[in-house]
Structure 1
Amino acid sequence: MRIAIVAPYFHPVEGGRERTVLFLAKELAKKHFVKVFTTDRTPSGDRIKAGFKSCPFSVRRVKSVHIAFRFEIPAEAPDKIAKEIKEFDIVHIISTDSTFTFYFLILAKMLEKPILATVFTPFALLKHPRKILRPFLLFFEFLSVISMRLANAVQVKNEIDFELARKFSKSVKLVPDGVPEYCFKAKPSLDFREKYELKNKKIILFVNRIHPLKGPQILIRAMPKILRTFPEAVAVLIGPDSNGYTTKMEKLAAKFNLSDSVLFLGFVSEDEKIAAYDAADVIVIPSVGEFTEAFSIVLSEAWVRKKTVVVTPSRALKSRVKPGTGYVAGYEPESFAEAVIRALEKPVEPPKVSSWSEVAGRIEQIYLNLIK
């Protein structure tokens, strides 16, 4: 089978959607010819020059005009792109809230190619915390609606999205993302507690971008109450920061006299990240807003490593964390602190998580059904 995967951004851009493309393409390429079509831009508009050769699939960077985030228009001749798309048996659109992917969807439709569209948190952008952006973001939600109408099948990642997508498509498939095989089998080479002198601490672990929408401020504001019950608790934050938000969080921690109870590690290796998961007592995902988490790979990784999680009621998080599988808190620091305290007092057994190999098998079956 010849599979075209279309996504607005790809490596070296790092994010949940880009990881989805990477791991899905890797698994599918074990049995099929796979080509990823993407822009030659980063979300901020910088042109990408580096290739991506260390993979078993092809990457086609389409020269594009960048107008704004998710608003890129292919600058190459439509007939040239159409000629390439003709060679494929299936077109998989990953992320429908993008002009680039919508362009490819229309081309594929005109060529009568079977289309699977992966939709992330439909209509969540209309609840963006910056209200001034909502009229502009309505355009991208419109693209998603049209994409769901035109695609032969729609894939979603959580139950809430499933119910929403059913209003626009007769063929909606709930297929959550997977976790790489190494996450199941990895044995870290380092002792995380020993390295950071956390031997007798209760580790509350945050693994995500240091960004206001990922909610590190909620965790830090919750720490004073947590420390009153567990004075040995320490918040460990792992993740990149491209906008300097860590400095603000360090000042916030100092304001609450938490400098000895909050540890910022920045970006770490996969080996150290898994060591951190294993050392942690609780994993927290305090993301803010409906659209921030379409699935949450951190949640899956935490469950794979048998950890108790505390999350906010962001759409995908509250959909996935059922009673008895973790704790759902409010967005307020007080509520979040109470949930973390309960999690430290009463850990729970996490549910089973699928590997990317299993997920790719389910996606492959959807492709085959559409091609018939």
Structure 2
Amino acid sequence: MKILFIAPYIGATYGGTSKIVTELVEAIGCLGVSVDLVTTHANGSKNLDVPLNEWIHQKCYRVQYFDCWYRDDFIIAPSLISWLFKNVNNYDIVHSQTVFAPMISVAHSICKYFQIPYIVTPHGMLEPWALSYKAWKKRIYYKVFENPAIQNSSAIQATSSFELNNINSLKFQNTVFVPNGIRRQEFEPLSNPEIFYQQFPETRGKTLILFLGRIDPKKGLDLLAPAFAKVYNQFPHTHLVVAGPDNIGFMDKAQNYFLQADCLDAVTFTGMVSGALKYAALAAANLYVAPSYSEGFSISILEGMASGLPCIITTACNFPEAAKAEAAHVVEINVNAIANALIECLSNPQQATEMGDRARKFIFQNYTWDRAADKLIQVYKSVIDKKPLPEFLG
């Protein structure tokens, strides 16, 4: 069995989707399946410094980068498309990442032409909020390109139970539920927070609330600003860390939310954090917050929970299982609900700690990349053998 992953980008600037793709490809390859990844060198304002048009061997898989033209996350890569046209017949199945991407739409057409089955992972781009954002553009593109291509796919991977229901409501068939995961070894033991304190000394000695995600309209920073202002008025020892890249030029507007809420002085915008610095930020934090309007299935939430943090997430984060397991506060998408949950955790530190402990065990038991890879391999085998898709419960 030979699998080809295709993604418009895997640069860290683009947030969780990039990490999901690379972690999943590696996990599948480490289970003995031949898997390749083709992508572009796009990475926001600065291209990835990588060799182009040649295979680079990573642990358990190969990756090849192609030159491209892009603006924000709109990416066109003629050389990748040309390569795909010549090489797609070498693979048993293609697994595409994200939708509303011209390059991916063309890839689907090539697969159809050569009768190569393909699987689609939307990464939350078919969620109601995502479809309504810039709706007039998406409505046309969806009708002409996206809907027919997805209908023709052999399987559609939903990464949360809510996303599964939303995709099914769009009248698509052949959906499977395979959630994202984490590498357990990256959180055992927890990192030393000192690396984070040294780089951002204003956070030392504070009770830190961590937002870890892209600076983007859908992430709910307009809700977090007034919510944090309420928290800060009651708990002046708190400090908010907004950690994440700004790949669409939204930073000024995001910072203005906190300026208007009169709490900007108690907020640190770190920019992109990755590797040791990201794990140090998770270790330094006391609480994690995700005030999103829309998500697929957030890796950073899993990382927050795996770090043992009390987590406040909205219903749009598509993780009702966390609420059922009493492993996170899952709240409505509004300022008061977010503020009240943060205040409850700060007012009851022992209960918050116990919830964080439950979260850590819950993630380790249920949401790892090994589990996700094993399920996807079962899906691939079913597609290739033209058998019914397996039914997973998460």
Q: Structures share a fold, TM > 0.5?
A: yes
Pairing partner for 1:185 from 176, 184, 188: 188
Give the corresponding residue for 1:370: 383
1:263 aligns with 2:264: no
Give the corresponding residue for 1:14: 14
Higher deviation after alignment, 31-40 or 361-370: 31-40
Give the corresponding residue for 1:322: 323
8 Å Cα contact 1:91/1:116 also seen in 2: yes
1:326 offset after TM fit, Å? Answer: 1.7
1:36 aligns with 2:37: yes
1:304 offset after TM fit, Å? Answer: 0.8
8 Å Cα contact 1:98/1:140 also seen in 2: no
Matches within 5 A, 1:254-293: 256-258=261-263, 260-287=265-292, 289-290=293-294, 293=295
Give the corresponding residue for 1:24: 24
Determine the C-alpha separation between the residues in 1 that align with 2:248 and 2:173. 41
1:285 offset after TM fit, Å? Answer: 0.8
Give the corresponding residue for 1:116: 119
Determine the C-alpha separation between the residues in 1 that align with 2:165 and 2:64. 34
User: Which residue type is aligned with residue 291 of structure 2?
Assistant: P
Per the alignment, do residues 175 and 246 of structure 1 end up closer, same or farther by CA in structure 2, a change over 3 Å counting? same
Determine the C-alpha separation between the residues in 1 that align with 2:162 and 2:314. 15
1:171 offset after TM fit, Å? Answer: 2.4
How big is the alpha-carbon RMSD for the aligned residues of Structure 1 and Structure 2? Answer: 3.2
Determine the C-alpha separation between the residues in 1 that align with 2:78 and 2:85. 12
Give the corresponding residue for 1:153: 155
Per the alignment, do residues 202 and 146 of structure 1 end up closer, same or farther by CA in structure 2, a change over 3 Å counting? same
Q: TM-score, normalised by structure 1?
A: 0.83
1:286 offset after TM fit, Å? Answer: 1.5
8 Å Cα contact 2:27/2:369 also seen in 1: yes
Give the corresponding residue for 2:109: 106
Determine the C-alpha separation between the residues in 1 that align with 2:197 and 2:42. 41
1:103 offset after TM fit, Å? Answer: 1.8
Matches within 5 A, 1:61-72: 61=65, 69-70=73-74, 72=76
User: Which residue type is aligned with residue 157 of structure 1?
Assistant: T
Determine the C-alpha separation between the residues in 2 that align with 1:67 and 1:2. 32
Determine the C-alpha separation between the residues in 2 that align with 1:230 and 1:201. 11
Determine the C-alpha separation between the residues in 2 that align with 1:260 and 1:88. 54
- 1:120 is paired with a residue whose SS is coil
Q: TM-score, normalised by structure 2?
A: 0.79
Pairing partner for 2:305 from 303, 306, 311: 303
8 Å Cα contact 2:100/2:138 also seen in 1: no
Determine the C-alpha separation between the residues in 2 that align with 1:197 and 1:68. 31
1:13 offset after TM fit, Å? Answer: 5.2
User: Which residue type is aligned with residue 103 of structure 1?
Assistant: V
Determine the C-alpha separation between the residues in 2 that align with 1:192 and 1:263. 15
Give the corresponding residue for 1:204: 209
1:188 offset after TM fit, Å? Answer: 1.8
8 Å Cα contact 2:244/2:273 also seen in 1: yes
User: Which residue type is aligned with residue 159 of structure 2?
Assistant: K
Determine the C-alpha separation between the residues in 2 that align with 1:266 and 1:83. 39
Pairing partner for 1:221 from 217, 220, 226: 226
Give the corresponding residue for 2:95: 92
Determine the C-alpha separation between the residues in 2 that align with 1:340 and 1:334. 10
8 Å Cα contact 1:4/1:90 also seen in 2: yes
Determine the C-alpha separation between the residues in 2 that align with 1:175 and 1:119. 12
1:276 offset after TM fit, Å? Answer: 2.5
Give the corresponding residue for 2:62: 58
Which string of whole-angstrom CA distances, capped at 9 and with x for unpartnered residues, describes residues 200-234 of structure 1?
54321111223443233432322332134323222
Per the alignment, do residues 108 and 233 of structure 1 end up closer, same or farther by CA in structure 2, a change over 3 Å counting? same
Give the corresponding residue for 1:358: 371
Determine the C-alpha separation between the residues in 2 that align with 1:249 and 1:43. 18
Per the alignment, do residues 331 and 70 of structure 1 end up closer, same or farther by CA in structure 2, a change over 3 Å counting? same
Determine the C-alpha separation between the residues in 2 that align with 1:331 and 1:297. 19
Determine the C-alpha separation between the residues in 2 that align with 1:88 and 1:151. 16
- 1:204 is paired with a residue whose SS is strand
Per the alignment, do residues 115 and 234 of structure 1 end up closer, same or farther by CA in structure 2, a change over 3 Å counting? same
1:242 offset after TM fit, Å? Answer: 4.6
Give the corresponding residue for 1:137: 138
Determine the C-alpha separation between the residues in 1 that align with 2:192 and 2:36. 35
Larger % of helix: which?
A: 2
User: Which residue type is aligned with residue 245 of structure 2?
Assistant: P
1:192 offset after TM fit, Å? Answer: 6.4
Per the alignment, do residues 59 and 200 of structure 1 end up closer, same or farther by CA in structure 2, a change over 3 Å counting? closer
Which string of whole-angstrom CA distances, capped at 9 and with x for unpartnered residues, describes residues 224-249 of structure 1?
32134323222122223356655555
Determine the C-alpha separation between the residues in 1 that align with 2:156 and 2:338. 34
1:251 offset after TM fit, Å? Answer: 5.6
> Structure 1 stretches of 5 or more lacking a match?
none
User: Which residue type is aligned with residue 108 of structure 1?
Assistant: C
Per the alignment, do residues 190 and 165 of structure 1 end up closer, same or farther by CA in structure 2, a change over 3 Å counting? closer
User: Which residue type is aligned with residue 306 of structure 1?
Assistant: G
Give the corresponding residue for 2:389: none
Which string of whole-angstrom CA distances, capped at 9 and with x for unpartnered residues, describes residues 75-132 of structure 1?
6786x6333111111111222322221222222223222322212332533321xxxx
Give the corresponding residue for 1:127: 132
Per the alignment, do residues 116 and 334 of structure 1 end up closer, same or farther by CA in structure 2, a change over 3 Å counting? same
Per the alignment, do residues 140 and 360 of structure 1 end up closer, same or farther by CA in structure 2, a change over 3 Å counting? farther
